[in-house]
Amino acid sequence: MSVVQETILEIDLKALQHNFEYLKSTFHKETKTLAVVKAYGYGTSACKVAKQLEKLKVNYFAVAYTKEGVSLREVGIKTPILILHPQLVNIKTIIKYGLEPNIYSNRVLETFIKEFESENLKNYPIHIKFNTGLNRLGFSENDIDAILFKIQNSESVKIKSIFSHLAASEDLNEKTFSEDQIKTFKKITTQFILKLGYTPILHMTNTSGILNYPQAHFDMVRMGIGLYGFSNDVIHTKKLKNVATLKSVISQIHSIEKGKSVGYNRAFKADKLIRTATIPIGHADGIHRAFGNGVGYVTIHGQKASIIGNVCMDMIMVNITGMSCQEGDEVIIFDSQKTINDLAKKINSISYEILTAISQRVRRIVN
Ligand SMILES: *Cc1c(COP(=O)(O)O)cnc(C)c1O
């Protein structure tokens, strides 16, 4: 591997493939697969991840917003793409790029049908979302007849799938709640399909739902964080491989005499002679400011060096007292699920946020 000369995020597509195959081994062969590649593929590289998964014959992609779906189409992704949170302002772009909207309210349904009809479209694929307890997006059970009325009075739409989302699939203390959500989803979809006259794909689980609630797999499962190496428990996470490695380099080394300070607002003051290394990564790159003042750390030649003083926009300074390293040496911010989880815990966050925080300024290298 080449010597690191700047801050980079390395993406391991073999690890991604392993994770996809591992997750697939946990459900029936007939169950369809949907890969969630929103937020730049959880901070990695949505396009590269999607290309790899398309080769592996994933059945569906999902992203949160329209522009994320457009980016996938622009690199040649042909697999259907579900837009989880379409904004009505993007309706023409959705159609232009053949993206498939999540329809979650009467207002959204009416607007889409009107647009499809005015463009003379027939059987445009849409996805109906029901709220079963997350209380974020989705129709309620009481909306069934109104939805059906609108859909059966128009030839413009075809329901490709009906779905819902678990609120606490990772939390086994909420097992009863999750099971109630599953029951509600079954009840709603049974009624709905009976009146609709054809059977769309049903799906409900995210990664932790896949692992914790096999009874909720239905026809398709939605894999997000698991593809990138994480699950809600240690046992599964150990079977998954880390996909993203964040590396940097030592820009400069300073000796700080007793009584001198380091960084903005003089947040760190040396009580003895220390050595610091300046690293070219800051809060604008995704190193949350909460990691300052000893909370976060990096690893240099296998040794932990804690962040001292405040995190700057473009840099951090770390304590390398007693360590043998020099300018130009490699610095690991994270290279394992363990470190990512550990860093997340230190700032009361989760792996999802650590990964998606890595800003687009950081160069991605796909291996
Ligand atoms: C983000 C998202 C997912 C993926 O969740 P993971 O926990 O990352 O697997 C699945 N479904 C919906 C609706 C989402 O918003």
Instruction: Give 233-299 as a 3 state SS string.
Output: CHHHHHHCCCCEEEEEECCEEEEECCCCEECHHHCEECCCCEEEEEECCCHHHCCCHHHCCCCCEEE
Give me the mean pLDDT over the 269-297 stretch: 98
- Checking if the pLDDT of 212 tops 60, the result is yes
Ligand 1 pocket member 307 (CB < 6 A): no
pLDDT band with cut points at 50, 70 and 90 for residue 216:
very high
Which residue has its alpha carbon closest to ligand 1 atom 13?
Answer: 165
Ligand 1 atom closest to residue 222's alpha carbon, by position in its atom list: 10
Ligand 1 pocket member 33 (CB < 6 A): no
CA–centroid distance, 366 to ligand 1, in Å, is 23
Ligand 1 pocket member 224 (CB < 6 A): yes
Ligand 1 atom closest to residue 163's alpha carbon, by position in its atom list: 13
Give me the mean pLDDT over the 76-94 stretch: 98
- Checking if the pLDDT of 245 tops 70, the result is yes
- Look at residue 3 in the predicted model and tell me its pLDDT: 80
Q: How far apart are CA 38 and CA 84, in angstroms?
A: 9
CA–centroid distance, 46 to ligand 1, in Å, is 15
- 26: enclosing H helix or E strand: none
Ramachandran area for residue 98 (φ above 0: left; ψ -120 to 50: alpha; else beta): left
Task: Please state, for a pLDDT cut of 70, what percent of the chain lies above it.
Answer: 99
* Residue 218 CB burial class (10 angstroms; 0-12, 13-18, ≥19): buried
pLDDT in tens, 177-199: 999 999 999 999 999 999 999 99
- Checking if the pLDDT of 222 tops 70, the result is yes
CA–centroid distance, 220 to ligand 1, in Å, is 13
Ligand 1 pocket member 227 (CB < 6 A): no
Q: How far apart are CA 52 and CA 49, in angstroms?
A: 5
pLDDT band with cut points at 50, 70 and 90 for residue 153:
very high
Q: Is 239 a catalytic residue?
A: no
CA–centroid distance, 163 to ligand 1, in Å, is 12
Beta bridge partners of 298: 305
Q: Is 38 a catalytic residue?
A: yes
14, 67, 187, 264: the active-site residue: 264
Ligand 1 pocket member 82 (CB < 6 A): no
- Look at residue 71 in the predicted model and tell me its pLDDT: 98
Structural domains in the chain, CATH included, are 13-239 (3.20.20.10), 244-366 (2.40.37.10)
Chain mean pLDDT for the chain = 97
- Look at residue 242 in the predicted model and tell me its pLDDT: 98
Selection from 129, 73, 350 nearest residue 225 by Cα: 350
pLDDT in tens, 327-346: 999 999 999 999 999 999 99
Give me the mean pLDDT over the 341-357 stretch: 98
Give me the mean pLDDT over the 66-78 stretch: 98
pLDDT band with cut points at 50, 70 and 90 for residue 6:
very high
Contact 333, 298 (CB under 8 A): yes
CA–centroid distance, 255 to ligand 1, in Å, is 47
- Look at residue 67 in the predicted model and tell me its pLDDT: 98
- Look at residue 2 in the predicted model and tell me its pLDDT: 60
Ligand 1 pocket member 84 (CB < 6 A): yes
Ligand 1 pocket member 36 (CB < 6 A): yes
Which residue has its alpha carbon closest to ligand 1 atom 4?
Answer: 224
Indicate the range of 1-10, 99-108, 203-212 predicted with least confidence: 1-10
Place of tokens 């392993």: 18
Q: How far apart are CA 298 and CA 214, in angstroms?
A: 38
Single-letter amino acid, residue 264? Y
Contact 337, 240 (CB under 8 A): yes
Single-letter amino acid, residue 108? V
- Look at residue 232 in the predicted model and tell me its pLDDT: 85
For residues 352, 135, 234, 357, the Cα torsion angle rounded to the nearest 10 degrees is 10
- Checking if the pLDDT of 163 tops 90, the result is yes
Ligand 1 pocket member 222 (CB < 6 A): yes
Give me the mean pLDDT over the 106-133 stretch: 98
- Checking if the pLDDT of 27 tops 60, the result is yes
Q: Residue 312 gets which letter from DSSP?
A: P
- Look at residue 103 in the predicted model and tell me its pLDDT: 98
- Give 183-243 as a DSSP string: HHHHHHHHHHHHHHSS--EEE---HHHHHH-GGG-TTEEEESGGGGT--SSHHHHHHS---
Give me the mean pLDDT over the 168-185 stretch: 97
CA–centroid distance, 202 to ligand 1, in Å, is 15
